[in-house]
Structure 1
Amino acid sequence: MTMLRHLCGPLALCALLLAPRTLPAQEAEGLRAAEAAQRALPRAPRLPRTAFLENRTLVAAALSPAGDAVAYLRERKASRALWLLPADGGRARMLVGATQAEQVTWSRDGRWIFLRGPRALAIVGVDGLSGVRVPLGGSERRRVMKLDPSQPAAVLLRERVAIGNGERWRIVRMDARGKRTLLREEARWVHDVALDAQGRIVALARFEGDHDALYRVRPGGTLHQVLRLRPMERIELLAALPDGSQLMAGNPGGDFRRVLRLDANDRLQTLHEDPRAEADLDEVVLDPRTQQPLAASYRSTVAATHGIGDAQAVVADIARRFPGRDIALQAGSGPSARWLVSERAATLRDPRWWLYDPRNGGLRRILDDPGITADSPKEAALARKVAISYTASDGRRVHGFVLLPPGVDAARAPLVAQVHGGPINHFRAGYDGVAQFLANRGYVVFQSNFRGSTGHGRAYTFASNGDYGNGRVQRDIVEGVRWLLAQGIGDKDRVGIVGHSFGGYSTLLGLTFQPELFKVGVAGAPPADLGWAMRWLVESGDQGDLPDRSLRQTLRALSLDATDPATRARLHAQSPQANVAKMRRPLLVMAGGADRTVALRSVVDYGARLRALGRPVTLLVEPGGGHSPVAPLAREAYLFAMDTMLQRHLGGPPPEPPGPRLREYLRANLRIAGPEFEAFATK
């Protein structure tokens, strides 16, 4: 939930939903029908807080290039291990007993597995032999870029080389035995590269100081610029094809992110885009051998996956097996190789995994033993997530979602607006632990993908026009709440607002400027003055020191460049910090003691100002915590505190009592204890 990771970059209804866009009246009618259907269901049992912490036993899974095995990371208590499951139905065997890895990637020859964690890359042979271990990060800022598709078993690394007060960037190939080959060195940050079959870099995308650009790399190593990218245009180099063309994903020269081909004559062609003309491309599936695109997924309002070329029939058959679901696919190489299918939905905390055999259409569920799936909440206990669109007061269509708890009369239920971080981010059609937790307590949850959000094209992101104070962006959220109330969704006298990072900032805005609507707020890591926070982030925060040095340009394009005095003054004038005297609604603020995205001192200062004015505020600070809570106890405290606050002021059910460890955590870390938390205040 980091603010500038969301700025620049803490799952569902799907598949074959290709109907044309509906009119506003039809959407309202559909929403009311969905609410009636949910109201008629039995009331869901209240689940424990811990059921929503997303402590998934299965961390990651990857299909081998031949489609004959699945490698997966499985967590048991405090131990995480790498396992290998034969696709033919044999028993899984453990390859690594202890690892901190979070991602699994196969080598092209299927003999090695690359385990990527936050601090190291480890390479393991499927025969049980270990390869090398490479530290990541550090002064070299070493990162894994991608698998090297030209080699049997190698990855591409990007490394920083310090030269006096300057720096250069190296692209290095490293094979499974640790052999390193320098492929290129650049003075500028290289985002991505493409290699031909001989292992030569033939294209690269890099940051040019005030924009990104795509280059072809000529045989002698000189560069030929092909594309100059506009702000918020992004490309991903997927493959260099034998005919000299480049397969890419991105949005250059258009509004939506899509599958692209740059031919040998530098002409850009669209290979696939959202048939609904509504969503950005989210994921592309490639054939491991030919590097040809097989499928494309779009996940903004609905989640849909479509086949490309010869794979259309296979993907359509898989999608038919999972109506109303979001499917993520991995393909083996060749027409007879198996596919790995991840089944996801708003009502599935943990994905379900399947193997699909294109030879006979066979579908077999895997990785479903009780040790993996036992703690996942039953779908009947979770809320349906309905995609909506509503018309803002200036005529723009705004997208979002509503979570409707089963067995609840939405007209009589409290309504909570949940605002996403970023602001350059978006809610997706899938599972959201905080939203499902609130819905399980009987709250209707509204998630607005207000203008300025991603996922709906570049024009939608720029439609904010920099109006991130008490202006157009905030009005999109407020008008969405009022539209829902007009449809009979939510009790107008019991409306709250919650969010993290930019969502926390929006929470403060809502309580400050719309107190007649929002009765209570919960703000995680909120910047009380967005202009000050943006400037701090550029000059002092972690993300202000991004190696590509593009943050200032991104903010400038979005009219958020707080190094500009006029922009900073505009944002400050509309900020909760400058209007603190207007804030009278009860507020819970949560923050991390070592947050490098939103400065803790600014959060504490805002809380102290409210307290000095006698306002009802609570401040909970996680010692040593970052921008978002990670440790299980800190995340449970986050949910408990939110539950306590909303119950007191919106009339939800009493919170599940805290255990001894959680009670002690609250006593130790409440910097300011408002009336809702007097029982935990240090005497």
Structure 2
Amino acid sequence: MGRILLLLAAVFSFSVMPAEAAEPPSLEIYGNLPSIRSLAISPSGERVVFLRDDGEREYAAAFDFKKNEMIGGVNTSDIKAHDIYFVSEDYVILFVSETEYKPGYRSEYEFTTAFSWNVETDEVKELLRYEDELHPGQTGLGYIVGRMKDEDYVFMPAFIGLPNPDLDLLKVRLESGVSVSSESGTYHTRDWIVDENGNVVAREEFDDKANLYSIFFYVNGRPVKIYEEETAIPDKSLVGVKPDGSALIVDVTLADTDRDALVALTPNGKFSERLYARPDAEVESVLSDFNRVVYGVRYSGLKPSYEFFDPALERQIASAQATFPDASVRLTDWTDDFETMVLRVEGGAAPPAYYLYRPSQHQISHAGSIYEGLGADQVGSVNIMKFKARDGVQISSILTLPPGGAVKGGYPTVILPHGGPASYDSVGFDWLAQYFASRGYAVVQPNFRGSWGFGESFKEAGHGQWGRGVMQHDVTDAADAAIKAGVADPERMCIVGASYGGYAALAGGAFTPDLYQCVAAFAPVTDLPRMIFDEGLERGRRSWVVDYWTKVIGDVNKERDRLEDISPANHAEAFKAPVLLIHGNDDTVVPYRQSRIMEGALKGADKDVELVKVKGGDHWLSTSEMRLETLRALGGFVDSHIGQ
């Protein structure tokens, strides 16, 4: 990480006729990272920081409202900056990563770390850089789980020791980046909760070999095991503490509601009450302070909704949402007293933007455009589309139409299944969908069975249903629904996806070859037995990750023939449409060889295929360079086959 540190020098200077649309924005507006992202506010509300991409360079910037000026900046052009936030009035945390390879390890991995940035002095320090016993090759480094009240110290979990490390909790000084004390964990520790005085409150563990999940509550500085459960795949998660400190808060799936909810776990190990639970939505995000004191939750849904311990805060957020009735309003940050909140608003008629909300002043002010240069008349309209699948189950989708477009039909159409597969698409600003909409395409994003956010039964209905089952049928039925609704031109339809969505795109080309005129997949899984084998090799055959994929896809030992049969690489001869494969050679989630396998199979069957290798590309397209290369290849491919 020495190279990262050297790069962080301060650099501040500051019918069937679609409606006619405005001149489309440049590809670069979508391909570059957002102009502003991760906007965060200081505890007092007097400063903000954000990550900035001006089209030429990327950097972190800080603005002081009292001084009415920018007060500093840090160059992030040559690293992957993921997040930025305040931990005190003067100190900011910059969370970054880079893909690394260490001799003795099987493959590349994504190394993460955190830097403290003093916006008063412009000093930048890598946290834990000088920790002598830091275990090499660990992922997940750089996360902060607590801070000291009125002192410049934070608490960070890290694996310490060789050859068998434990996940200890380190107290780290922001000024130097050096740890000054630690609390011992174990190899099985996976999370900590610590209060603002530096006292450990709780610890969470999972023994992957013994299949034991445990929660420890600290009494007078000593851990007491208050909960234990035998499970191959943990379905509970310690997320925080109640505001009065009387109980821990745990994320669970409730049998009667079939949804993720938050419940209280008392110090005597009893689940005592439901704190946040709805029959029609999942707890998607926990809203808490740095020491995990929970204020409320954001629920899943095609538009987000909220619930708080404080009814007044709940009313304030509802008022903000009412200001933007057609958009999704996401609360992303707030001051210590909630007098100022940061809102990210997207999915309505206006371009996505950050707003500062001051409820006591009844004021919502524009804080920054997320995609600068994008006008209101250039934003594709985002609609909710629901249809019945072939077996009668209702499926929700997001339909994005060209700017000014109406549902009259005749649009060349992109079917865009999401990745995961346990995720979902909602009303918002999807940069890829908006790019295609700006070029005259309709974009359909189906929330097929196996998606998260619609209940445990809906998610589990996708288990074992990859390729030839209901997961893929729902994607196909979404395409058919768009045709029947008069939105899509059946002669100009392409399926595009990334990660699992890339698998679904290739499965569409293999198992419904007459439906699509082109197929494009970014970082796809193409050979399922090989994928599960690689996971076992990387993590161990008894890892919960292998158990998870066995549950979701199938048992490679007992069902190899079925998994071979639903692997697109084994059906190259069935493809009729041309195929574009895009894959980063530094992908640490889905190996690049998965696309090489698919390319080889299609070439062997004498099919039309191109593989674009994104040099240095990761699974998330973390930089503008990666996004631009991908979008140029993808946009040109789709235009050449179903464009106007």
Q: TM-score, structure 1 length as denominator?
A: 0.79
Quick check: 2:343–2:357 contact (8 Å CA) kept in 1? Answer: yes
Match of 1:12 in 2: none
Distance 1:594 1:79 in 2: 21
1:380-423 CA-partner distances (Å, limit 9, x unpaired): 22222222332223333322211122335642122221111222
Which consecutive residues of structure 2, in runs of 5 or more, have no partner in the other structure?
A: 1-14, 98-111, 130-134
Distance 1:320 1:363 in 2: 12
**Residues 1:205 and 2:234 are matched in the alignment:** no
1:209-246 CA-partner distances (Å, limit 9, x unpaired): 13544332343633323263864624242336444312
Match of 2:600 in 1: 608
Match of 1:476 in 2: 474
Alpha-carbon offset, residue 474 of structure 1:
0.7
Quick check: 1:144–1:155 contact (8 Å CA) kept in 2? Answer: no
Alpha-carbon offset, residue 189 of structure 1:
3.4
Distance 2:75 2:584 in 1: 29
Distance 2:366 2:275 in 1: 32
Match of 1:354 in 2: 355
Match of 1:551 in 2: 545
Alpha-carbon offset, residue 179 of structure 1:
5.2
Match of 1:92 in 2: 69
Alpha-carbon offset, residue 112 of structure 1:
2.3
Match of 1:345 in 2: 347
Pair 1:268–1:389, CA change in 2 (3 A): farther
Paired residues for 1:180-199 under 5 Å: 180-199=179-198
**Residues 1:572 and 2:568 are matched in the alignment:** no
Paired residues for 1:93-132 under 5 Å: 93-99=70-76, 101-107=81-87, 109-118=88-97, 119-128=112-121, 130=123, 132=125
What amino acid maps onto 2:305 in structure 1? A
Pair 1:303–1:216, CA change in 2 (3 A): same
Pair 1:359–1:115, CA change in 2 (3 A): same
Paired residues for 1:165-176 under 5 Å: 166-176=164-174
Quick check: 2:298–2:306 contact (8 Å CA) kept in 1? Answer: yes
Paired residues for 1:524-543 under 5 Å: 524-540=522-538
Alpha-carbon offset, residue 331 of structure 1:
2.6
1:538-591 CA-partner distances (Å, limit 9, x unpaired): 324xxx489x953123223324453xx123332112222222222222212222
Out of 383, 386, 395, which is 2:392 matched to? 395
Alpha-carbon offset, residue 499 of structure 1:
0.8
Alpha-carbon offset, residue 450 of structure 1:
0.9
**Residues 1:269 and 2:273 are matched in the alignment:** yes
3-state DSSP of counterpart to 1:411? coil
Larger displacement relative to structure 2 (184-193 or 227-236): 227-236
Alpha-carbon offset, residue 80 of structure 1:
1.0
Distance 1:211 1:555 in 2: 19
Match of 1:453 in 2: 451
Larger displacement relative to structure 2 (116-125 or 508-517): 116-125
Report which structure shows greater RCO (CA 8 Å, sep ≥6).
Answer: 1
Quick check: 2:526–2:597 contact (8 Å CA) kept in 1? Answer: no
Match of 2:11 in 1: none
Quick check: 1:142–1:157 contact (8 Å CA) kept in 2? Answer: no
What amino acid maps onto 1:471 in structure 2? G
Match of 2:126 in 1: 133
Larger displacement relative to structure 2 (304-313 or 574-583): 304-313
Pair 1:348–1:591, CA change in 2 (3 A): farther
1:130-167 CA-partner distances (Å, limit 9, x unpaired): 37422579435462333424543322222223433x33
Match of 1:56 in 2: 34
Pair 1:225–1:314, CA change in 2 (3 A): same
Alpha-carbon offset, residue 197 of structure 1:
4.9
Quick check: 1:307–1:313 contact (8 Å CA) kept in 2? Answer: no
Distance 2:456 2:273 in 1: 18
Distance 2:247 2:170 in 1: 23
Alpha-carbon offset, residue 325 of structure 1:
2.1
Distance 1:396 1:515 in 2: 24
3-state DSSP of counterpart to 2:226? strand
Distance 1:249 1:472 in 2: 28
Match of 1:324 in 2: 326
Quick check: 1:532–1:572 contact (8 Å CA) kept in 2? Answer: no
Match of 1:6 in 2: none
Alpha-carbon offset, residue 91 of structure 1:
0.7
Alpha-carbon offset, residue 73 of structure 1:
3.3
Match of 1:463 in 2: 461
Paired residues for 1:39-438 under 5 Å: 42-76=20-54, 77-86=56-65, 90-99=67-76, 101-107=81-87, 109-118=88-97, 119-128=112-121, 130=123, 132-134=125-127, 138-139=136-137, 141=139, 143-152=141-150, 153-164=152-163, 166-177=164-175, 178=177, 180-209=179-208, 210=211, 212-219=213-220, 221-226=222-227, 228=229, 231=233, 233-239=235-241, 241-249=243-251, 251=253, 255-265=258-268, 266-274=270-278, 277-286=279-288, 291-293=293-295, 295-309=296-310, 310-329=312-331, 330-334=333-337, 337-345=339-347, 351-367=352-368, 374-375=372-373, 377-405=374-402, 406-407=404-405, 410-438=408-436
3-state DSSP of counterpart to 1:50? helix
3-state DSSP of counterpart to 1:315? helix
Pair 1:162–1:561, CA change in 2 (3 A): farther
Pair 1:157–1:589, CA change in 2 (3 A): same
Distance 1:299 1:246 in 2: 22
Match of 1:443 in 2: 441
Quick check: 2:226–2:267 contact (8 Å CA) kept in 1? Answer: no
1:477-523 CA-partner distances (Å, limit 9, x unpaired): 11222222222221223222111122121112111111222222111
Number of residue-to-residue matches in the alignment = 597
Q: TM-score, structure 2 length as denominator?
A: 0.84
Distance 1:618 1:289 in 2: 49
Quick check: 2:304–2:330 contact (8 Å CA) kept in 1? Answer: no
Quick check: 1:496–1:521 contact (8 Å CA) kept in 2? Answer: yes
Distance 1:180 1:278 in 2: 45
User: How many percent identity over aligned positions?
Assistant: 20
What amino acid maps onto 2:160 in structure 1? V
3-state DSSP of counterpart to 2:361? coil
Pair 1:160–1:232, CA change in 2 (3 A): closer
Pair 1:507–1:366, CA change in 2 (3 A): closer
Quick check: 2:467–2:567 contact (8 Å CA) kept in 1? Answer: yes
Pair 1:151–1:554, CA change in 2 (3 A): farther
1:91-115 CA-partner distances (Å, limit 9, x unpaired): 13323443554322322x5342222
Alpha-carbon offset, residue 124 of structure 1:
3.0
